[in-house]
Structures are given as C-alpha cells and as structure tokens.
Chains A and B, each alone.
Chain A
Amino acid sequence: MLFFSKWKITFILGAVLLGLFFALPNALSPEMREKMPAPFQRTLNLGLDLQGGAHMLLEVDLSSVLAQALDNEREAIRQEFREADRLRTEFIRVNEEGDAVVGRLRNAEDMPKALELLRKLSVAVDPTSLSTDKTTKVEQEGEKGFKVTITDANIESIQARTIAQSIEVLRKRIDPQGTTEMTLAREGDDRILLQVPGAKNVGEIKDRINKTANLSFHMVRKESGSEAAMRLAAEGKLPPGAIFVLNQDDPGGLILEKRTKITGECLKSSSEGLHPTANYPIVNFSFNITCAKIFGKLTSENLGQRFAVVLDNEIITAPRINGAITGGSGYIEGSFTIESARELSLLLNAGALPAKLIIVEERTVSAELGKDSIDAGKTASIIGLIGVGFFMWLSYGFRFGTVANIALTTNIVLIAGALSLMGATLTLPGIAGIILTIGMAVDANVLIFERIREEAHLGRPPVNAIETGYRRSLAPILDANITTLIAAVTLYFVGSGPVRGFAVTLAIGIVMSVFTAVVVARLITSTWLRRTRPKTLPI
C-alpha cells in the first residue's frame, strides 16, 4: 500500500494540479482570468438563489391547443365533404368528451367514399422522418357513423411544436436584444422553465408572460350599438358568425364579424410612435404583402364603416374607415402611454403565444439576498474549515494532523475544480453540501489514522502499522462512502432545483474525500516515512 511507482506519483500530482488549475479562475479577478488559457477560464456558475434572479415554471395550456387542433380537423373534414359531390352528412362535430370529431352520413352507401376522404386527410406527422405515424386515426362507427381521433404521435408533435414556439416568443419578448443570459427550456410534458438572472423587473417579465398578444382586425357589425349589443350578448341572441367583444378601456363592447383574415401573423413589424398631428402615443404597424392586399381591399370596400382592433379578446380601438389603406401600414391609437405603446409593439413584434401560459411556480431572489447568502456561506465555510483543521491537529498531532489538513484543503480545491470544469451550478444548498463535506471529509482520514493507531498499539513497527492501517480501512471507507453516494445520487434524480445543487456538491465531495484520504494523504505519508524512517509513530 505504501509503495508508489514514479508514474503513479506523476499521475496523482498531475490530477491534483489540474484540479487546482480548474479551481484557480474562481480566485482570480475577471481581467486576470481572461489571460488564462481557455480551459482554465471557467468559474463556478452561481445559482439564481446566489446571484439573484427569477425562476419560473410556466405551464402551457395545451388543452386549448388540442381543442383548436380538433376544431381545425372538423373544419377540414367539412370542407373536404363539401367539395366531394353528393356526400351529405347529418352532422360533423367534436364529441362531448372533446377528444374526437364524430359525424354521421345521410346515406350508408357513401361510407367507402367518406372513409377514403377521411384517410386522405390523415397525413404523416413528420414527413421528413421515416416513421409512419399519421396525424389522425379514422374509425367507422356503425353503418353511417365515423370517428376521427388525433393520434398520440400527433398530439406529441403538437405539444412539442407549441412549447418550442412559446419558448421562441418568450425569448423575443423578455430579451428582445438578446443580451440577457436567461434560460428557457422545456420541462416535462407541458412546462417551460424560465430563469432570468439578476432580474430587477420581475413584474414586467410576468406581464409579458401573461399576455397572449393575439391581435386581429374585425369588421364591426352595423347593428352594433354598445348597449343593444350587450343585451343581445347577454341573451345569447347573437346572429350567426358574430362575436361580442368588450372594450379594453371603456365600458361596453361591440358585435364583430367573427371571421377575419387579418391576424397577428400578418404583421411585418411594429413600433411605438407619436400621432402625426395630435402628438399622443400610438403603435405603428406594417403588414406583409399578402395581408396588405387583403387589408387594402377590405378598407376600400367598406368605406365609412368601422373595424375593430382586438388584442387578447379586448377591443383596443374601433376607428371608422375614412379611406382605403393600401400601403399595408398604419397605426393603432388607443389610450396609450409611451410605455404601454412600447410594450405593445414589443409584444406584437415577438408574435402571439400559441397558448396561454400559467405561472405555476415562481421563486425570485434579489441580488441583495444572493450576496448575503454568499457572504454567510463563505464565513461559515472558513470558520468550519479552521475549526475542523484545528481539531485534527489536536487529535492527531502536528504530523498526521497536517496530512489530514492537506488532504482536506486538497479536497475543497478539487471540489471547486470539478464544479467549475463540469459547469455545475452552485446553489445555496450546494454551499451547505460543501460545508457538510468539510466536516465529513476528514472521516476517511480519521478511520485510517485510528486504524494505524490501533495497529501501532498492537506492537507493529511504524511502517507496518501504517501499511496495515491503510489496507484494513479501505473496505469500510468504501462501504461507508458508497452508501452516502447512493443517497446523494437518489437526491439528484428525484430532487429538484437548488436541492440538486446540494446533491451534486455532496456527491463530488464524497468522491474527492475518498481520493484525497486514500490516495493523496497516503502518498504524503509514504514520502514522509521514506525520508525519516521513524522508530515510533507520532500519532
């Protein structure tokens, strides 16, 4: 156990030095760090609980997206059947469970034709992949009935697309300049994890998450007086194809044409500005070419009538068309302030969210609290380290105490190095893990030293006692540490958030403490033995 070959010594020292180099950048100032070679520039990532910031878990309302998908499917089927001659149906609708489109044909003999059409509508979920998954499943129910369900593969694809799109929109909304180091990632089936470091304006971020920013332009129905409209809407007597929408600022609302071709997708860009004559804040917009043409036609055909600008089911403004707008650009005037105009144009530029987002968890830590935590953690670590170090000297004397303390210091350096190298995130519980490791890391050395003491007491000569001590304590050290490692690994996989940070530092701490006690400390002890050849053991 005490003999080390030359290459082994080189390897051990190399590993320790490497750890030291990886840990070093943490102790350097940013300017000095830049002068280091690239692999040695990484530092510990501080978790949001240490640097301050907002952590939010957003749930994507996928049910509405799936309902929309079914609606679209129903429309597609209707259209398909309408275009096919003599294919008449009693009804086509989304069933009560809301998971399928069901329908019934007038004539049973149309069934083969109907099924053929329905199957034609079922296309590959992902045409670019080899998988043969279709978008829908078509079933015949009885003689005249049919049922079309969306396949699981398609649901999954819709979910993935919705979430990817939501993430894209959120990124543009929260970080339009692309300068913040924020994290946006899918989590589980229907959630998005958003982490914004150092966020001062959490309220603003939440406002941007909450708004779907669904923009559309609708023609206002002629009979639409505000009070009459309200009464009609309350009685549920709206004419077909019409919707009632409330005003954003004023009480009341208007009856609008439901169908529209001008939606948020038409927007090429938007910006805040000032009204050319009256000088109050407005939001400028410009449409893409297709929509510009549609809008031009719409406005020229409906001179003198009103159209409404609807954002998230509220009417922002409903101006009268005074002349055809053919250039594809215009402005929205409402009761804007400069800020709200800027906010709206930002939202419009980012596009609409495909589904509503709900904040199911929020944890915000101010930079101040983060700094307080770091300071407290530093003090506690240093005091803990000094206390334990002093204690080791007290228990094992200067010589062996020093060996244990070198091992302990190496351990801390290696933990810092490993965390930096892995790009792991240091959280507040992570700091707790390190401090705990300081206390527990000496355990392996204590085990070894106690064993050496025991063996020396049995009358073995120093070299033999040390040799036997190291050999006999290896099994219990491994057993004891593997069990703690199991607990740490479990915690990592089942735990969440900052607790994971704790599991990581604990696990790394355990591995490093075994390495430093069993390998590094042994190397030091064996070197000392060979140099001095002591007659008695100072332990």
Chain B
Amino acid sequence: MKDISLVKLMPKEPRVPFINMRVVAAILSVIALIASVFLFTTRGLNYGIDFTGGTVIELDFGQETDLELVRTAVGEMGFDGATFQGITPPLEANKNYEFIRVGIPLQPETEETGGSEAQQIALRTIEAGLTEKVGKFEVYSQDVVGSKVSGELRTKGMLAVGLALLMVLAYIWFRFEWQFGLGAVIALFHDVLLTIGVFSLTQIEFNLSIIAAILTIVGYSLNDTVIVYDRIRENLRKYKTKPLPEVLNLSINDTLSRTILTSLTTLLALVALYILGGAGLRGFSFAMIWGVFVGTYSSIFVASPLLLLLKLKRGVNTGNAEAKA
C-alpha cells in the first residue's frame, strides 16, 4: 500500500539566506516600530468602553429603523460625542433584523450623581427617550462601565502584558543563555508594539479582548522563537566549526517548514473565527491574525539575527540542554 502525501509543501532542504536579509529586515522593523510609536502617540488607540468607561447599547427595534432617527433623538437628549452604528448580525441577514448600536461616552461623575451612578442615569434617559421618540425596542446587549472600573481595567491590562513579558523572560533566562532571553523579549516587544501600531492605524476598537489577544500573541510568537532557538542551540553543538551566521541560517531553515505549517493551520482557524465567529470576536481574531504574521516574522528576522548582535558565545550553552535533547 503506497501512501504518499499529496503535496510536499516544502522542499526537503530549504536554503533561504534569511540571515543575509537581516539588514533589510532590521530597517523594515525599525521603520515599522517608529511608525507604530508615532501613530500611538499622535493618533492614539480607539479605546472601547472597557478602558474609557461609558455606555454601549445594542437595540433591536424589531423592524428596519432609520439610523438618522436614532441619531437625532439621542442628539436632542444632549449627549455629545455619541456614536451610532447600524448592525445586521451575520448569518441572520435574511431575517431582516436591524440592530443599532449606540455608544455614549463616559458621563461626568459629579458629587451630585454619586460615583458611577451617572452612567446608569444616562442609560435610563436614553432608553426612555428612544422609546418615546423612535419606538419600542428590545435590548440586544448593553454594557455600562463607570470610570472607576475602567481605570482598574486599564491598569490591570497593562499589568497583565508587563507581567507576562517578565515571567516569560524569566523562563527563557532559566532555560537558555541570556542572549536568547533578551533576544526573545526584544522580539516580543517588537510584536506587541507593532500590534498596538496596527490598532492605532486601523482604529479598530481596543478593548479587553485585545489585551487577551496580545498576551496570546506573546505566547504564540515566543513559541515560534523558542522552536528556532532550540534548533540553534542544537546546531551549535552539532557544527562546532561553522560560523555563527551560517548556523543561525541553517536552524531557521531546518524549522522553516514547521513554522510555515503551524502558522497556516493557526491562520486557518483564525480566519474561520474572523469570518464566522460573529461581531464579538472580530477584533480579537483580527489581532491574532496580525499577531501570527508578526510573530512568525519576528522569530525569523528579529529574534535570530539579534543573537548575532548580542554576540552569542559558543560552547557555553551546551550543559543542561544536552541532557534534555
């Protein structure tokens, strides 16, 4: 019984001179990083109410309703900076649903309204006003976040990313030479910054689930980097006389088919999620798709060449790895 794979996706021994492209890659990365920081500082992120506080309600009027009518009605109630969006849920298009999403910015919380009560008061005003001026509706979903909670979520989010980076650094440090640890973490910063950059560029809502996505990107990108690093360590032992750039290049090529296959399956799942997973997960899956690209790129073009820059010494790092291999 002959059983041969339909396609050999990769040549058996790819020999792409990745390391030789390091200067181009470095220039590209630095430009992208500068652009990200620039975008982030000038344009900022489109924070969701998780981080800004405020109210978002999705309303189902049971019939197609004019968005302008809602806009005018809410405007008359005096909510400045409110946002409006007509949504038809995916897969439900034939049912002729008209969902309208109304976003109300954080209302000032004065002594009088008492803490976060202001948001609840705004919500009641909107609901009563819309019923009167537009018509009866069902609430599809509503989120109300006070300033105290949004502040906490902001702190927690930053803490989570920072903490994850630190812990991961500690682990790599423990398992590899310090150059690997530093290289991996620089690559991670690269990925996180570029992700923030792309969110600033596209102005896609940045909320709690994006923080989750960033942490997952950290995990994924590191996964990739560690696989390459592991092979570099192994090849350093195997080819004691080969110059370092060649060993790096060989290792990247050795693991290339795995890198590409895993990226492809992950992308497959994520694209399915992006297209079919509903509006609630679209931002998350977008971030992850981007993260898979950036993470794969960074482990090949950032994390590995960094070892050259950090002057990885040979022969020191054979100790504990030998036993595990």
User: A: which residues have CB within 8 A of B?
Assistant: 49, 57, 59, 202-203, 206, 356, 358-366, 368-369, 372-373, 375-377, 379-381, 383-384, 387-388, 391-399, 401, 428-429, 431-432, 435-436, 438-440, 442-443, 446-447, 450, 453-454, 457, 471-472, 474-476, 479-488, 490-491, 494-499, 502-503, 506, 538-539
Q: Which residues of A contact B120 (CB under 8 A)?
A: 206, 359, 362
Contact partners of B58 in chain A: CB under 8 A:
369
CB-CB contacts below 8 Å: B251-277 with A: 254-255, 257-258, 261-262, 264-270, 272-273, 275-277
By a CB distance below 8 angstroms, the chain A residues around B7 are 394-395
Q: Which of B140, B142, B325 interacts with A362 by CB under 8 Å?
A: B142
Contact between B278 and A496 (Cβ–Cβ < 8 Å)?
Answer: no
Query: Per a CB cutoff under 8 Å, which of B164, B175, B254 touches A479?
Result: B175
Contact of B168 among A372, A383, A387, A486 (CB under 8 A): A486
Q: Assuming the A-B contacts A360-B116, A435-B277, A502-B212, are A487 and B5 also in contact, with contact meaning beta carbons closer than 8 angstroms in the complex?
A: no
- Name 27 A/B residue pairs within 8 A (Cβ), A-sorted: A59-B116, A206-B120, A358-B117, A361-B149, A362-B144, A366-B60, A373-B280, A384-B269, A391-B264, A391-B268, A396-B5, A440-B262, A443-B262, A446-B258, A453-B12, A472-B234, A479-B227, A480-B227, A480-B230, A483-B172, A491-B212, A491-B215, A494-B156, A495-B160, A495-B211, A506-B219, A538-B3
Contact surface of B with A, Cβ cutoff 8 Å? 2-7, 9, 12-13, 58, 60, 89-92, 114-117, 120, 123, 127, 138-146, 148-149, 153, 156, 159-160, 163-164, 167-168, 171-172, 175, 208-209, 211-212, 215-216, 218-220, 222-224, 226-227, 230-231, 234, 254-255, 257-258, 261-262, 264-270, 272-273, 275-278, 280-281, 284-285, 288, 321, 324-325
Chain A residues positioned under 8 Å from B208 (CB to CB): 495-499
Check if A482 sits within 8 Å of B171, measured CB to CB.
Answer: yes
Q: Using Cβ atoms and an 8 Å threshold, which residues of chain A touch B278? A: 372-373, 376-377, 380, 428
- B230 and A475 form a contact (CB under 8 A): yes
* Contact residue among A368, A384, A447, A491 (Cβ-Cβ distance under 8 Å from B160): A491
Q: Is the CB of B209 within 8 A of A57?
A: no
- With a cutoff of 8 Å between Cβ atoms, the chain A residues found around residue B141 in the complex are 363-366, 369
Kindly list the 5 A-B residue pairs having the minimum CB-CB distance in the complex, ordered from nearest: A439-B269, A376-B278, A484-B219, A487-B219, A439-B266
* Contact flag A436-B223 (CB < 8 Å), given A398-B3, A491-B164: no
User: Are B223 and A362 in contact, with the CB atoms below 8 A?
Assistant: no
Residue on A with the closest CB to B147?
A360
CA distance A364 to B144 in the complex (A): 9
Given contacts A361-B149, A439-B266, A439-B267, contact A395 B9 (CB under 8 A): yes
A446 to B208, CA, bound (A): 32
A358→B114 contact, CB < 8 A: yes
Complex Cα gap A388–B270 (Å): 11
Please state if A446 and B261 are interface contacts (CB–CB under 8 Å): yes
Report how far A453 CA is from B256 CA in the complex, Å: 13
Give the residue among B9, B172, B219 with the most A Cβ atoms within 10 A: B219
Least CB separation from A188: chain B residue: B152
Q: Which residue of B lies closest to A443 (CB)?
A: B262
Q: Which of A356, A435, A482, A485 has the most CB of B within 10 A?
A: A435
Q: Which residue of A lies closest to B166 (CB)?
A: A490
- Using Cβ atoms and an 8 Å threshold, which residues of chain A touch B270? 435-436, 439
Given the contacts A457-B12, A495-B212, A450 and B257 also touching, CB distance less than 8 Å: yes
Which residues of B have CB within 8 Å of A487?
164, 168, 215-216, 218-219, 222
Contact assessment for B268 and A388 in the assembled complex, using a CB-CB cutoff below 8 Å:
yes
CB-nearest residue of chain B relative to A372?
Answer: B89
Q: B5 — which chain A residues lie within 8 A by C-beta? A: 394-397, 401, 538-539
Instruction: Write the nearest CB–CB distance from B254 to chain A, whole angstroms.
Output: 7
Q: Compute how far the CA of A376 lies from the CA of B211 in the bound complex, rounded to whole angstroms.
A: 22
Chain A hits for B116, CB < 8 A: 59, 358-361
Q: Which of B3, B211, B220 contacts A484 (CB 8 A)?
A: B220
CB distance from A63 to the nearest CB of B (A): 11
Contact between chains at A483 and B146 (CB < 8 Å): no
Q: Once bound together, how far apart are the Cα atoms of A489 and B286, in whole Å?
A: 23
Chain B positions within 8 Å of A49 at CB level: 280
B139 near A364: Cβ-Cβ < 8 Å = yes
A379 engages B140 (CB within 8 Å): no
Q: Which residues of B contact A366 (CB under 8 A)?
A: 60, 138-141
CB distance from B162 to the nearest CB of A (A): 9
In the complex, what residues of B have CB within 8 A of residue A494's CB? Answer: 156, 159-160, 163
Measured CB to CB, the closest approach of chain B to A431, in angstroms, equals 8
Q: How far is the CA of A361 from the CA of B255 in the complex (A)?
A: 47
Residue from B160, B209, B227, B266 within 8 A of A476 (CB atoms)? B227
Give chain A residues whose Cβ lies under 8 Å from the Cβ of B90. 376
Q: Which residue of B lies closest to A381 (CB)?
A: B272
For A440, the chain B residues whose CB sits under 8 A away are 220, 223, 262, 265-266, 269
State in angstroms the CA–CA spacing of A189 and B112 once bound together.
24
Q: Is the CB of A436 within 8 A of B288?
A: yes
Report the separation of the CA atoms of residues A457 and B14 in the bound assembly, to the nearest whole angstrom: 13
Q: A363-B143, A497-B208 are in contact. Are A436 and B164 (CB under 8 A)?
A: no
Give chain A residues whose Cβ lies under 8 Å from the Cβ of B257: 450
List chain A residues, Cβ under 8 A from B220.
440, 484
Cβ–Cβ < 8 Å partners of B325 in chain A: 471-472, 475
Cα distance, A483 to B172, chains bound together (Å): 8
Q: Could you tell me the distance between the alpha carbons of A439 and B219 in the complex, rounded to whole angstroms?
A: 14
Please give, as numbers and ranges, the residues of chain B lying within 8 Å of A472 by CB-CB distance: 234, 325
Nearest CB of chain A from residue B232's CB, rounded to whole Å:
11
State whether A380 and B276 are in contact (beta carbons under 8 Å apart), knowing that A450-B257, A476-B227, A487-B216 are contacts in the complex.
yes
Establish whether residues A475 and B321, one from each chain, have CB atoms under 8 Å apart when the complex forms. yes
Choose among A202, A398, A495 the residue that contacts B139 (Cβ–Cβ < 8 A): A202
Q: In the complex, what distance in Å separates the CA atom of A471 from the CA atom of B116?
A: 58
Q: Do A486 and B171 have beta carbons less than 8 Å apart?
A: yes
Contacts of A496 in B (CB 8 A): 153, 156, 208
Is A486 in contact with B153, judged by CB distance below 8 angstroms? Answer: no
Complex alpha-carbon distance, A363 and B288, angstroms: 25
Bound: A504/B43 CA distance, A: 34
A392 vs B269: C-alpha distance when bound (angstroms): 13
* Bound CA–CA A538/B117 (angstroms): 67
Q: Least Cβ distance of B144 to chain A in Å?
A: 4
Contact present for B6 and A432 (CB under 8 Å): no
B266 proximity list for chain A (CB < 8 A)? 436, 439-440, 443
**Of A59, A393, A497, which is within 8 A of B6 by CB?**
A393
B273, A384: Cβ atoms under 8 Å? yes
- Which A residues are CB-close (under 8 A) to B163? 490, 494
- Across the interface, name the chain B residue whose C-beta is closest to A363: B143
Partner of B142, one of A364, A368, A398, A479: A364
Contacts of A484 in B (CB 8 A): 216, 219-220, 222-223
Q: Knowing A379-B91, A443-B262 touch, does A358 contact B231 (C-beta < 8 A)?
A: no
Closest partner residue, chain B, to A55 (CB atom): B143
Please tell me if the beta carbons of A375 and B273 are within 8 angstroms of each other in the complex: no
Most chain A CB neighbours (cut-off 10 Å) among B5, B13, B222: B5
CB distance from A539 to the nearest CB of B (A): 7
A391–B208 Cα distance when bound, in Å, is: 32
Chain B residues in 8 Å Cβ range of A486 = 164, 167-168, 171, 219
Q: A361-B144, A539-B5 are in contact. Are A506 and B216 (CB under 8 A)?
A: yes
User: Is A435's CB under 8 angstroms from B227's CB?
Assistant: no
Compute how far the CA of A352 lies from the CA of B94 in the bound complex, rounded to whole angstroms: 50
By beta carbon, the residue of chain B nearest A440 is: B266
- A157 smallest CB distance to B (angstroms): 24
Interface centre among B60, B255, B261, B270 (most CB of A within 10 A): B261
CA distance A435 to B13 in the complex (A): 32
Shortest Cβ distance from residue A107 to the other chain B in the assembled complex, whole angstroms: 42
For A397, what are the chain B residues with a Cβ–Cβ distance below 8 Å? 3-6
